[in-house]
Structure 1
Amino acid sequence: MGHKFSAILIFLVGYSSAASVHLLSNSLTTDEFQNTVTTHGSFKDRATDTTTSTSTTPVDIHHQRSTINLTQTLQGNQSEAVCKINEKPLNLLEIKQMHTFLEKSLKKNVLNYTLSPVTKPGDNYNFMLQSLEVKLLQNDSFEIDTLKLVCKTPAGVSISSSHSKQFSNEMHFYSVIVPAIELFEQNANVPKTERIDAFVRYFGARLSLDSNVESADGDAVILLENAKSLNFACLGRRDKFDKEQVLAILKRLAKLHALTIAMRRLEPTMFYSKVDPHLHTRYNGSFLETLINITDKFANKLPITFPNMTIETQNTIKTQLNNSKEYLRNRSISSAPDTPYTTFYHRDLWVKNIMIKKGGHSKQSIQVKILDFQAYDYDSFAFDLTFFVFYNAQIEDLQMNFKLFIEYYHSEFFNTMRLVDCSIDDYTYEKMWHEIKDKAKLNLLKLYLYLAFDQIEILKNNEVAANGTDFYLDQPTPEIILNRWKCINDLYIENGFI
C-alpha cells in the first residue's frame, strides 16, 4: 500500500526485514502465566504510567485448554517494558507509550503485543506499516482474546509538513468521514445489505504524544484492522484486476461517490462540518512541476513509439496534456467548486491500495477494501472512475468491457442516489457520460504519468544502471507498458476522449 507518486519518484529504500519484536509488560503473557504466581504493575509500559501499590487479588483465567492461577496486581508499582528481539536485522520503529495507547484505543487490558514489519521496499515511502497482534484480557470473563491489527506510523523520527498532512488526512478519514457516511446511511434508512462496506475497521489514532498538538509528528499512530488476517489480499504490483474484480470495486467506488454527493445535497450541515473540511488536499507546486516534467518526457516519445498515429491525433493529445497541466496548477492553489459531480476523490486508486477477498467467481462474492486515504481531494467522480478503469483493468477486459464498466458504475451510483431519496435529475447516463468525457480528457496526463512511473520502476528493478529518471525514460518502453499505452490511446479515440 502506498502513495505511488512519492514512492517511485524518489527511488525508495523499503523495509524488508523479517524480524519481529515482542513487547510485554512485567505482568503477563500466555506463555509465562504458567510460571507466574504474583505479578506487579498495572499493565503499563512507561514510567509515566504510575499507580500506587496496595493489594492483590487472585483471578482464574481460562485460555484455550489451560487454566492458570494468577495473582493480578490491581494497584501496583510502575513497571517497565520488556523487549525481546530476535537476532535477525530489525527494521522496526520504536512506538513510544504504545501499551498505554493500545489500552486507551481498545478500552481493554492489554497483556502483551507483538510487532512485525509489513511494508516491503517501495510499498510505503512516507510511512511504515507493522502488523500487531494484541493479547487482551476480557474484563468480565477474564478470558484472553487475540486481536490482529495493523499500525501505521511515520517512517522516521522527524516528519515533513506534507507527510504530516497526509497522516492527518488518513486519521480524519477513518475517525470523521467514515462515521459521517455511516450516520448518513442510517438516517436515510439504507438497508444494511446495501450500505458501503469498503473500509477496514478503525480502532484509534493519535497525532502526537502531546494532546495539544494539532498536526502529526514522529509519534503519530493509526490502528486499523488487519485485513490480511481476514483473507483479504492485494495483487502484485504488475498485476491487474479481472472483469469481476473490476465490477466489485466499481460498486464500492460508486457508492462512495454517490453518498458524498447525496450528503452534501440532503444534509449540508453534516457534510460541511464533518466531511468538507478534510477534503481539500493540494499538490506542492514544485512537486507538481516535477510530475509534469516526468509526463512530458514520457509523452515526447509518442511519435517514435506510435509511428502510425496521425499528426492531428498527436497534436490533440499534446493540447489535452497542456490543458491537464493548467487544470492541476489551478487545483494546487484553489479547490474545485461545487458541481453536481464533485465528490470524494481518492486520487490514488491502483492495485496496491485495494484489497480483495474472493468468495467465488461472481462480483457479488468478491469483497473489497479500499486503502491509503492519505491524499484524497474534492473533485469530479469521473477522475477516480476513468483512472481506475484505464489503469487497473486487465487489457483484454478493458478492450472488451469498457462501456460495460461505465454502465455498471452508473447503475450502482444511480441506485445509491435513489436509496437515499436524493434527486436524480443530474445523474442520467447521458449527463454522467458527458461529465466522464470532459474529465477523461483532463485525466490523460495522470494516466501517462503512471505509465512513466511503471517504466522507471520496471527498468530499475531490472538493474539497469542509471543516474536518474531521465535515463529510465530515455530507454525503449517495455512491452507491458507499451500495450497499455496503446490500449488507452485506442479507447480514448474510440470513445471521443481525443
Structure 2
Amino acid sequence: MSQKIKFLENIIAPHLQNNQKIISCDFDNLLSAGENYGSVMLQITIKLQNDNGDEENIYCVGKTVPPSEMLWNLFNTKITFKKEIAIYKTIVPELNKYGEECGVKNLIKFTAKCFGARISLDPSSEEVDHDAVILLENLKTQNYKVCDRLNGFDEECSKLLLGDLATMHAAVIGYKYAQPESFEKKIYPFLKKAYAFNVTESFADNFAAVIKNACAKNPDCIPHLHKITKALREINYYNENPVKGKDIFATLTHNDYWVNNTLLKFEDGKPIANKMVDFQLIEYSSLAHDVIFFLYTSVNMDVIENKVDELIKFYYDKFMETLTKLGHPTTEYSFESMLEEFAIIAKYGQFSHLLYMFVPICMLKGKVKSLSKFDLNELIFEESSMHENYFRRMQFTLIDFSRRGWI
C-alpha cells in the first residue's frame, strides 16, 4: 500500500486554469524495491473539474524523502533534497536563459517538468522534513521508460545519453566562465559536497573478500586481486580528500548517472529523447566522474567490452560541439587533456565507487528488501542473488582499469 502526500493541492494550485478544482487524487508506488534508494517515488493521478463540469487528469510523480533514518542519514537528505529542488527551480532555468543569450534554444531539454516543490508544510521552515516533496510530470505517460538495469544500454542509446551528459557539463562550464558572478551566486551554492558513502575497515575487508572470491574465477583477474582491498578501504579517504582534477573540467556533476536515473523515449525502436532524473547528489567536480560511472555501470557488456575509447571520444566530440555553440574558447580542451583528466579521476575513488554500486545495480529483481528495511549489509551479497552480468561487469572493470593504469 502506498503512502499519500498531504495538501497536494497547495503545490498544484498555480497550474490550475478556468476555476479548476481537484476532485480526487490516486496514489500508487512508482517503483519496486531495489529500483531506487534515496527517496520514495509515488505515481499520482490528479482528477480536475472546472465550473462547466469538464474533467482533466494530470499525471505526476511525487518524490518524497526516504522512510528510514539510516537512509535519511546515508543520503544526507536535509541537504540533498534541496539540491534537487534547485535543479528545477534555479539551475536549469538559468542555464536555458544563458543558452538563449548565446543563440541556443532549449539548451537543457532533458529534464522533467516540475509542477512545484516544498521542504516542509511550514512555509517559514528552512529544514527538510518528512512532508518534503517534489512534484514532477509522469514521464511514463509520455512514453518515456526506464530501461533494464541488469543489461544496460546498447550503443545507440549510450551515445544519446552521453551526448546529453556532455551538453550539461559543457553548459555549466560555459556559464561559469561567461557569468562568474552569477555562477557563484545562483549555481555554485547548491554544488557543495553533501554526500559521502563511508564504511568501516572491517566492512571493507569483508566486502573485498566476497569480490575477490568472485573475481578469482576469471584467471585474467588474479594478478589484480590485491588492488581490490586497497581500493575499498580507501573510499573514506577519497571522500574526505576529493580530487577534482583540472579546473577547466570542473562542472556540475550528477554523481549518480546510471540506468535507473534516466528515461528514454523510443520511436520505431530507436531512442529519440532522454530525461535525466534524481539530481540530489549534484556537486562541483570533474566531468570524468559522471562519464566513467555511466560507462562502467550502464552500457551493455557487449558494447563496453569493445568500445570504451570510442564512447569517450563520442562524449568529447559532443562536449566540444556544445562549447563551440556557446562561443566558449576551446583551445585548452584537447582530447589528450581530457584523457589525462579521466586518468586522474579514475585513480582516485571511482574504482571503489563502482565496486560498491555494482551490487544494487546488478542484484536480481525481487532479491532487494524494501527501503524501510534496507541495510548496508545488503551489499555483502550471496552470489545467487546477483545477475550473471554482475560478475562479468565487475571482472571487466578490474581488468580494464588495470590495463589503463587507473588502479
TM-score, normalised to structure 2's length? 0.85
Q: CA deviation at 1:200?
A: 0.6
Structure 2 regions of 5+ residues with no counterpart?
Answer: 370-375
Which residue of the partner structure matches residue 177 of structure 2? 265
Which residue of the partner structure matches residue 193 of structure 2? 281
Q: CA deviation at 1:336?
A: 4.7
Q: Distance in 2 between matches of 1:137 and 1:289?
A: 58
Q: CA deviation at 1:236?
A: 3.0
Instruction: Tell whether 2:63 aligns with 1:152.
Output: yes
Q: Which amino acid aligns with 1:472?
A: F
Residue 124 of structure 1 aligns to a residue in which SS? Answer: coil
Q: CA deviation at 1:306?
A: 3.7
Residue 488 of structure 1 aligns to a residue in which SS? Answer: helix
Q: Distance in 2 between matches of 1:470 and 1:450?
A: 9
The 8 Å contact of residues 440 and 497 in structure 1, kept in 2 or not, is answered as: yes
1:105-156, Cα deviation, whole Å (9 max, x unpaired): 55663332322212322333443222222334569x9854332211122355
Q: CA deviation at 1:182?
A: 1.1
Q: CA deviation at 1:497?
A: 2.9
The 8 Å contact of residues 297 and 473 in structure 1, kept in 2 or not, is answered as: no
Which residue of the partner structure matches residue 487 of structure 1? 396
Residue 121 of structure 1 aligns to a residue in which SS? Answer: coil
Q: Distance in 1 between matches of 2:195 and 2:231?
A: 20
Q: Which amino acid aligns with 1:329?
A: E
Which residue of the partner structure matches residue 168 of structure 1? 82
1:2-24, Cα deviation, whole Å (9 max, x unpaired): xxxxxxxxxxxxxxxxxxxxxxx
Q: Distance in 1 between matches of 2:146 and 2:357?
A: 18
Q: Which amino acid aligns with 1:417?
A: L
Summarize the alignment of residues 270-419 of structure 1 with structure 2, pairs less than 5 Å apart: 270-284=182-196, 286=198, 292=204, 296-301=208-213, 304-309=216-221, 311=223, 313-315=224-226, 325-331=236-242, 336=244, 339-360=247-268, 365-419=271-325
Residue 357 of structure 1 aligns to a residue in which SS? Answer: strand
Instruction: Tell whether 2:111 aligns with 1:202.
Output: no
Q: Distance in 1 between matches of 2:201 and 2:366?
A: 23
Q: Which amino acid aligns with 2:83?
A: N
1:204-249, Cα deviation, whole Å (9 max, x unpaired): 1111111111121121121101100000000234131011000010
Q: Distance in 1 between matches of 2:6 and 2:368?
A: 35
Which residue of the partner structure matches residue 139 of structure 2? 227
TM-score, normalised to structure 1's length? 0.70
Residues 202 and 454 of structure 1, relative CA distance in 2, 3 Å threshold:
closer
1:427-480, Cα deviation, whole Å (9 max, x unpaired): 111111111122122311111112244566679469xxxx95486368897642
Structure 1 regions of 5+ residues with no counterpart?
Answer: 1-89
Residue 203 of structure 1 aligns to a residue in which SS? Answer: strand
The 8 Å contact of residues 355 and 370 in structure 1, kept in 2 or not, is answered as: yes
Residues 102 and 294 of structure 1, relative CA distance in 2, 3 Å threshold:
farther
1:57-116, Cα deviation, whole Å (9 max, x unpaired): xxxxxxxxxxxxxxxxxxxxxxxxxxxxxxxxx3223x2222233214556633323222
Q: Distance in 2 between matches of 1:308 and 1:283?
A: 34
Q: CA deviation at 1:176?
A: 1.2
Residue 122 of structure 1 aligns to a residue in which SS? Answer: coil
The 8 Å contact of residues 145 and 263 in structure 2, kept in 1 or not, is answered as: yes
Q: CA deviation at 1:400?
A: 2.4
Residues 289 and 247 of structure 1, relative CA distance in 2, 3 Å threshold:
farther
1:283-311, Cα deviation, whole Å (9 max, x unpaired): 35755879855653444437733444464
Residue 347 of structure 1 aligns to a residue in which SS? Answer: coil
Q: CA deviation at 1:315?
A: 4.7
Instruction: Tell whether 2:92 aligns with 1:178.
Output: yes
Which residue of the partner structure matches residue 101 of structure 2? 187
Residue 169 of structure 1 aligns to a residue in which SS? Answer: helix
Q: Distance in 2 between matches of 1:268 and 1:315?
A: 45
- How many residue pairs align between the two structures? 396
Residue 148 of structure 2 aligns to a residue in which SS? Answer: coil
Which residue of the partner structure matches residue 326 of structure 2? 420
Q: Distance in 1 between matches of 2:115 and 2:64?
A: 14
Of structures 1 and 2, the larger Rg is shown by 1
Residues 250 and 440 of structure 1, relative CA distance in 2, 3 Å threshold:
same
Between the two proteins, what is the percent identity of the paired residues?
24
Q: Distance in 2 between matches of 1:99 and 1:290?
A: 49
Q: Distance in 1 between matches of 2:327 and 2:218?
A: 49
The 8 Å contact of residues 41 and 64 in structure 2, kept in 1 or not, is answered as: yes
Instruction: Tell whether 2:345 aligns with 1:439.
Output: yes
Q: CA deviation at 1:405?
A: 0.7
Q: Which amino acid aligns with 1:387?
A: F
Q: Which amino acid aligns with 1:448?
A: L
Q: CA deviation at 1:414?
A: 0.2
Q: Distance in 2 between matches of 1:234 and 1:459?
A: 17
Residues 126 and 450 of structure 1, relative CA distance in 2, 3 Å threshold:
closer
Q: CA deviation at 1:347?
A: 1.2
Residues 232 and 304 of structure 1, relative CA distance in 2, 3 Å threshold:
same
The 8 Å contact of residues 198 and 235 in structure 2, kept in 1 or not, is answered as: no
Higher relative contact order (CA 8 A, sep 6+): 2
The 8 Å contact of residues 136 and 146 in structure 1, kept in 2 or not, is answered as: yes
The 8 Å contact of residues 346 and 373 in structure 1, kept in 2 or not, is answered as: yes
Q: Which amino acid aligns with 2:343?
A: K
Residues 109 and 415 of structure 1, relative CA distance in 2, 3 Å threshold:
same
Which residue of the partner structure matches residue 373 of structure 2? none
Out of 151, 156, 159, which is 1:247 matched to?
Answer: 159
